[in-house]
Amino acid sequence: MSSTFAQFGNSLHSGHRSLPIVRRRRTWYLLSVVVLVLLSAVGLLRGPNLGIEFTGGSEFQVAGVSEPDQSIAREIVRGQVPGNEPNVTVLGQSTVRVQTEQLDSTETAELAESLAEGYEMGADAVSTSYVGPVWSADITQTMLQAVLVFLLLVAVTMALYFRNLKTSAAAMIALVHDMVLTAAVYFVVGFEISPGTVIGFLTIMGYSLYDTIVVFDKVRENTAGLTGQTQASYAEKVELAANQTLVRSINTSVVALLPVGSILVIGAFILGAGTLQDISLALFVGIIAGTYSSIALAPGLLVDLRRREPEIAAHARRVEQLRHPAGAAGVGADERDEHTEETTDQEPDGPVGTETISPEPEPEPEAETTSPRPRNQPRRSSRRRRAASRRGDR
């Protein structure tokens, strides 16, 4: 199995085998749009599950519960504080967390006592905390600023590194795709969005950009001296780079997903650590999305952004004309993707508008019955021929 995968990777790297990554880029675009629209629609219907750090309010945790039934907490809160819909979750196997809107000190003490009685626990088993609206607003503003600053710095750095703004734009579009996809999955699953989630989002930005930079760096290597050769166009060079880095990107992502998956399953679902759950889900979804976008989306985006450049378009036309001299004239870079070559079985061999005439065969020379006369022998008259004939009769 490993040898087969290695041979497959070697054939991709050498160019003997090529997956239609760039040639089928519109298919990848459509797939991404469909997935994003479906997940976003479901996620918006459910709405984001914002943590108390972003909304503000009161939080109660009941530890050591033998039967962590969430309905008990909901009924207590609805009866104690009418109109206040709680957010109840179970942490681990024996802790119930209850988040409500902002309560004053009296309401907080009464609700804590009711929760202890409802779960048949002592008063010291219930811990309370409070997050004010000003602090939650500061957290939200800081989070947005951190994301925007990160995106700006990355865009500038990539533009300077690759010396091309369109390369940086392609990478940033793929990165935004990963962020939106991860956020949509968060909305659908219903996991709480906490500061740990923000840390996970910033981390997956690094993973996604790392894979994309690896692909684009190979593109820069393959396209060095592009106009000095006519074997392949810019789009074909980009597709070769995507195929050459395919196995490397998959291996890197699998190695990164193994520990993240372990944290997500063991730390979040078994141990019930909320912070681990928030970070691990963002990392798990983000790594998968980043691997997909760096392989399937980023190369195609780079080709679409740069194929109209005069130098690249002229080189693509020249390559096409050398491959198909009769049918490539007038075919531009925008038309080649949709261009279908016509068969030439009915085309005339000569120029258009002229009739091709086959030459007639030359007649075969008649066989001579007499020996040829020397060129310097004088022509005989009829009288001399008769005299010579009489002498021969004698």
Which domains occur in the chain, in start order? 2-49+136-313 (1.20.1640.10), 57-131 (3.30.70.3400)
Looking at residue 296, its amino acid is A
Computed from CA positions of residues 304, 310, 316, 320, in that sequence, does the dihedral angle turn out positive or negative? positive
Q: What's the gap between Cα 359 and its chain centre?
A: 60
Average pLDDT, the chain: 79
Instruction: Please determine, for residue 366, whether its predicted confidence score (pLDDT) is greater than 60.
Output: no
Report the pLDDT averaged over residues 177-191: 88
* DSSP, residue by residue, 218-253: HHHHHTTTGGG--SS-HHHHHHHHHHHTHHHHHHHH
Structure tokens at 387: 């005299």
Confidence (pLDDT) at 288: 92
194 phi, psi to nearest 5 deg = -125, 175
Q: Are 293 and 21 in contact (CB under 8 A)?
A: no
Task: State pLDDT tens for residues 185-221.
Answer: 988 888 778 777 888 888 888 888 888 999 999 999 9
Q: Please count the other Cβ atoms lying within 10 Å of the Cβ belonging to residue 38.
A: 12
For residue 125, what is the DSSP state? G
- Of residues 67 and 19, the one with the higher pLDDT is 19
pTM: 0.71
Distance spanning both ends of the chain, measured CA to CA: 108
Cα dihedral 116/121/125/131 (nearest 10): -20
Give the mean pLDDT of 342-361.
38
Q: Using CA atoms, how far apart are residues 323 and 317, in angstroms rounded to an integer? A: 10
Cα 101 to chain centroid, rounded: 41
**Residue 136: count of CB within 10 angstroms of its CB:** 18
Distance CA 361, CA 25 (A): 57
Question: Would you say the C-alpha torsion 138, 143, 146, 149 has a positive or negative sign?
Answer: negative
Q: So what's the pLDDT on residue 202?
A: 82
H helix runs in 67-132, sequence order: 70-80, 105-118
Give the Cα separation of 5 and 157 in Å (integer).
35
Which pLDDT score, from 0 to 100, does residue 203 have? Answer: 84
